[in-house]
Structure 1
Amino acid sequence: MTSTTTRPPAAAYRDPIPSEVRVAVIGSGFSGLGIAIGLLEDGERDFVVLERADDIGGTWRDNTYPGCACDVPSHMYSYSFAPNPNWSRSFASQPEIWAYQQDVVARFGIAPYVRTGAGVTAADWDEDEQRWRIETERGTLRARFLISGTGPLCEPRYPELPGLERFEGAAFHSARWDHDHDLTGERVAVIGTGASAIQFVPRIQPQVQRLTLFQRTPPWIMPRPDRPIGSRERFLLRTVPGLRKLKRLGIYAALESRLLMFNHVPQLRPLARKLALRHIEAQVQDPVLRAKVTPDYDLGCKRVLLSNDYLPALAAPNADVITSGIREVRAHSIVDADGVEHQVDTIIYGTGFRVTDQPIAEIVRGRGGERLADRWVDGVEAYRGTTISGFPNLFMMVGPNTGLGHNSIIYMIESQMAYVRDALRQARDGAIGALAPKAAVQRAENEELQQRLEGTVWNDGGCQSWYLDARGRNSTLWPDFTFLYRRRTARFALTDYDVEPLRTAPPVDAPAAVPATEPVAV
């Protein structure tokens, strides 16, 4: 990405942790950075962004595996208030997305509020003080409001395999790629066939001696309509008024229309299935391999993936696809469920993330010291996907049932930003000390969401996916059009909340906001 700004130096994020702030934000991915921009726009200066790593970026900082890229078109995978006319491709790569995030930090002046190396180890609600007590790796602080921007794609999920501890070769997760380890000439086992594996398998297949892919369930794969964006098109996007918004609107509408197939008009699903089958038939000639990579569940039940080179990589002479499962791992091999031993030098896990059991829930304690993980033991839920009964002044970005199977999560993040900002403004103006959704209101909304998810391809498509928790409950996806979620989050209704007045003097009014480069429009 062409940038007119300079990336903030790492030292810019190493100032001391403040002892007390009005708002503490956990995480510096798209959610955390977006909230920080919104706070500045609202004139808020009494906040801090706590980041566990040594730089900003979240999942786009961590996932550096070969071929890492977004599967949402670039012009939709960016903030509406900070468009980038200089994307080099229609689907941006990880380095370009991370550069965009760095550019946003510099452009909106977020760096002074970020603290790196400040992983949060505990967050406890103090009922008497009406504040959160937050323990970090760099010290303790208190905050009136706590915003979790960790997201569901921050903690890798590792498989539990018999004998794995005996393996003597290299082993790493795609989200923790070991760039110092040379795969050239090695016998490599890949476990998992999710979005990451779809991207890195074609990159490593030509360099390894043997690639053995252990597949539990094949994904549905559609052609990836990626292309370079030429200099003339970038020039027009920079100079023609309204063209960027028009392009974004067109992409949004095209992506949003996919919901018709997944939810409202299932009669369209066979047509999409036929297109996907043609893609498989065109790329895989061997009938045995074709049968292995052809799903037996409805298209959309699992995340639909985009690739033009994954299936050809599996069809290469040095590649095998094992579908029987794994019996055990030995010092230098993996034994499949049929008893066949496969010699392995390196294991790469493409097994995704802890989505339905997010680690943040293990360290957050609300009223009465209740741990969020214990509250969620029978099912993850929130109100508006953002606030949780019994956990005052806590906001979760990309919380339960805000994920998408058809459009850009950035749209949902911006919707949540508007909701959280309205809550913080009303709390300041109304001298509110604590607010949490009423239990009955939260319960009613979640019962409605679960009813609306019944019969959708995500719930009843005939597969097991990360959309569903261990009990088969879909606590991940928003079940309808994204503009309906934006309508729900357009205004923070205090009548839906248990509200307590501020028991201490309110903070001094913040200074007027420094004008942003462009207004924040959410």
Structure 2
Amino acid sequence: MPEIVIVGAGFSGMCVGIQLLRRGIRDFVILDAAESVGGVWRHNTYPGVAVDIPSSTYCYSFEPNPGWSRAFAPGEEVRAYAERCATKYGLRPHLRLNTRVEKAVFDADAHLWRISTARGTSGGTSGVSGGASGEEGGELEARFLVCAVGPLDQPKDPDIPGLADFAGKVVHTARWDHGHDVRGERVAVVGTGASGLQVIPELAERAAHLDVYQRTPIWVFPKVDFAIPPAVRRLFRVFPPAQRLVRLVTTAVSEVVMVLGIVHYSKAPFLVRGAELLCRAHLRRQVPDPALRRRLTPRYGFGCKRPSFSNRYFPAFTRKDVELVTEPIARVTASGIVTRDGVERPADTLVLATGFKILEPGATPPFPVVGLDGVELGGHWDRERYHAYEGLSVPFVPNFWMMNGPYTVTGASWFSIIEAGTTHIVRVLAEARRRGARRVAVRRGPHDAFTADMRRRMRGTILAQPSCARSNSYYFDKRGEAPYIRPQSGLHVQRRARTFDLDDYEFTR
């Protein structure tokens, strides 16, 4: 029986494994349903996929990557970076790939987790699996359980009548079929979020005709993307402080926009207005038609929904062979899509750029997690509102932490968020070992105080503004609350991870 089971071999799960090894803790396994590491970057391979923040911030702080080829690294380079980290930091012997986690139940008498697994598949969700040997499944026991499945893991299909009746090819951006060629076809794309923004320009150049069905426009910044010269990459390799400086600057800019403009919107609304003006100016430069510009302009405040960067997205809509469709979809037929005005547009291939399941049962967490008194965590959150101490743990689920849980995401680099969560978890696990504890659970008082503080702080953010109701953002749950976001700075979160009182947890021997 391994002492610790980590579910998910993306960057979150790998970070936990790396830091455990650094602490001298080797009794753990990392489970993943896929046949390789990388998580979201193993699954998302659609044309044009790339990071949507500067590459300098998209790596572990302890493992900078001087080899990024562009300012915004393409997806295949990120996946290769994950593979290198798995090898360099000795994670391979701890990986159990191709094994899906079906359910986890805490045995209160034995103070351990009973984890049901099944054989994974190459198209399965990254967090729900394990087994480099391709195990058939069964039950796995562990003292401690860490769910490190990223939020962008389970593809979300749109709830459109007739979707199953479509006779052509249907593909989700998160499960791209590279064996299918759209050249010469009429292609329909549903969705204009971050994935749609990247794939639409690529499809526009390949398809005979492209229809883009937009429900909610997206705020788009100009993208300062360029090939990083070999001389600069050599400098980063031989003088790492230069790359750390670039990382510091790009992270600081992101923090200023997120923390001052979005988190502290009531105190600095001018920053949000400034971002909107920049995005509008970018749209005016690239789309001369005022009627088309109006349809591409968001009617919600900047920050209600994840913005992105692109220099190719808006020009795609100025092509004669691309049509932006803003009339709502009524249904899908065998041969195309019918909008509410009765117009049917034919399609050979239907591309679903409709994002992921996030704040809903079956996604957060991605498999049933049953704690004390038979309470299942996902169902509890859906009924009672999302909450977790420092975004990681809840009192009635002992010996369990969920990376990327409620109130986790800040304006910092995604890797900074991962590393802060890992620091918290590994501190508690090391303390449990020191005290010889068989059960560890966050105390109710600190948990409730943290949750109340997060909800109070959220009232001053842009996310509390009425315009956000029109954003169709995955930041929000079914109640209209935004527990996806943590209304604090990344620096604060990192400091808390290093300094929170370990006695906020109860350690039972």
TM bracket (short chain): over 0.9
Render the CA deviation track for 1:466-522: whole Å, top value 9, x for unaligned.
Answer: 100011011101112111111221135333223321xxxxxxxxxxxxxxxxxxxxx
In 1, Cα distance between the equivalents of 2:201 and 2:319?
10
SS at 1:182's partner residue? coil
2:207 corresponds to: 208
Paired AA for residue 345 in structure 2: H
Shift of 1:205: 0.6
In 2, Cα distance between the equivalents of 1:487 and 1:216?
39
1:401 corresponds to: 407
Shift of 1:189: 0.9
Q: Do 2:420 and 2:494's aligned partners in 1 also have CA atoms closer than 8 Å?
A: yes
In 1, Cα distance between the equivalents of 2:373 and 2:117?
21
User: Is 2:378 the counterpart of 1:339?
Assistant: no
1:67 corresponds to: 48
Select between 335-344 and 132-141 the one with higher mean Cα deviation.
Answer: 132-141
User: Is 2:439 the counterpart of 1:458?
Assistant: no
Render the CA deviation track for 1:174-213: whole Å, top value 9, x for unaligned.
Answer: 0001111111111111111110000010011111121111
In 1, Cα distance between the equivalents of 2:276 and 2:500?
41
Gaps of 5+ in 2: 119-136
User: Is 2:31 the counterpart of 1:50?
Assistant: yes
1:238 corresponds to: 237
SS at 2:243's partner residue? helix
- Corresponding residue to 1:383 among 383, 386, 389: 389
1:283 corresponds to: 286
User: Is 2:87 the counterpart of 1:106?
Assistant: yes
Shift of 1:451: 1.5
In 1, Cα distance between the equivalents of 2:247 and 2:366?
35
Select between 483-492 and 228-237 the one with higher mean Cα deviation.
Answer: 483-492
Structural mapping, 1:315-326, within 5 Å: 315-326=318-329
In 2, Cα distance between the equivalents of 1:407 and 1:323?
33
In 1, Cα distance between the equivalents of 2:281 and 2:170?
35
In 2, Cα distance between the equivalents of 1:255 and 1:51?
31
In 1, Cα distance between the equivalents of 2:233 and 2:156?
39
SS at 2:394's partner residue? coil
- Corresponding residue to 1:355 among 352, 355, 358: 358
2:480 corresponds to: 472
Give the alignment's Cα RMSD to 1 decimal: 1.3
1:218 corresponds to: 217
In 1, Cα distance between the equivalents of 2:503 and 2:239?
45
SS at 2:142's partner residue? strand
In 2, Cα distance between the equivalents of 1:419 and 1:318?
52
Shift of 1:361: 5.0
Q: Do 2:257 and 2:271's aligned partners in 1 also have CA atoms closer than 8 Å?
A: no
Shift of 1:441: 2.6
Render the CA deviation track for 1:17-49: whole Å, top value 9, x for unaligned.
Answer: xxx101100000010111110011111111000
Select between 144-153 and 241-250 the one with higher mean Cα deviation.
Answer: 241-250
Paired AA for residue 387 in structure 1: S
Structural mapping, 1:297-308, within 5 Å: 297-308=300-311
Q: Do 1:361 and 1:371's aligned partners in 2 also have CA atoms closer than 8 Å?
A: no
Q: Do 1:450 and 1:474's aligned partners in 2 also have CA atoms closer than 8 Å?
A: no
Render the CA deviation track for 1:387-408: whole Å, top value 9, x for unaligned.
Answer: 112000101111111123x331
Q: Do 2:8 and 2:148's aligned partners in 1 also have CA atoms closer than 8 Å?
A: yes
Select between 432-441 and 212-221 the one with higher mean Cα deviation.
Answer: 432-441
2:72 corresponds to: 91
User: Is 2:30 the counterpart of 1:24?
Assistant: no
In 2, Cα distance between the equivalents of 1:254 and 1:494?
32
In 2, Cα distance between the equivalents of 1:457 and 1:21?
44
Gaps of 5+ in 1: 1-19, 502-522
2:508 corresponds to: 500
SS at 2:438's partner residue? strand
2:262 corresponds to: 262
User: Is 2:408 the counterpart of 1:392?
Assistant: no
Render the CA deviation track for 1:121-162: whole Å, top value 9, x for unaligned.
Answer: 111101111110111123321111101111211101111111
In 2, Cα distance between the equivalents of 1:341 and 1:216?
17
SS at 1:116's partner residue? strand
In 2, Cα distance between the equivalents of 1:351 and 1:295?
17
In 2, Cα distance between the equivalents of 1:179 and 1:359?
29
In 2, Cα distance between the equivalents of 1:217 and 1:247?
34
Shift of 1:241: 5.3
Select between 489-498 and 26-35 the one with higher mean Cα deviation.
Answer: 489-498
Q: 1:407 to 1:492 in 2, by over 3 A?
A: closer
- Corresponding residue to 2:491 among 483, 495, 518: 483
Structural mapping, 1:137-176, within 5 Å: 137=118, 138-176=137-175
Identity %: 39
1:6 corresponds to: none
1:412 corresponds to: 417
Paired AA for residue 408 in structure 1: S
- Corresponding residue to 1:424 among 409, 422, 429: 429
In 2, Cα distance between the equivalents of 1:54 and 1:361?
18
Shift of 1:240: 2.2
Shift of 1:362: 4.2
Paired AA for residue 32 in structure 2: E
Paired AA for residue 141 in structure 1: L
Select between 413-422 and 239-248 the one with higher mean Cα deviation.
Answer: 239-248
SS at 2:456's partner residue? helix
In 2, Cα distance between the equivalents of 1:292 and 1:314?
11
Render the CA deviation track for 1:286-314: whole Å, top value 9, x for unaligned.
Answer: 22211110111111111111000011111
Instruction: List structure 1 segments (4+ residues) > 3 angstroms apart after TM superposition.
Output: 359-362
SS at 1:118's partner residue? strand
In 1, Cα distance between the equivalents of 2:79 and 2:240?
26
SS at 1:121's partner residue? strand
1:38 corresponds to: 19
1:434 corresponds to: 439
In 1, Cα distance between the equivalents of 2:8 and 2:444?
27
Q: Do 1:169 and 1:347's aligned partners in 2 also have CA atoms closer than 8 Å?
A: yes
SS at 1:268's partner residue? helix
2:57 corresponds to: 76
Q: Do 2:210 and 2:322's aligned partners in 1 also have CA atoms closer than 8 Å?
A: yes
Paired AA for residue 491 in structure 1: T
Select between 264-273 and 84-93 the one with higher mean Cα deviation.
Answer: 264-273
Paired AA for residue 28 in structure 1: A
Shift of 1:435: 1.5
SS at 1:490's partner residue? helix
1:311 corresponds to: 314
Shift of 1:440: 3.5
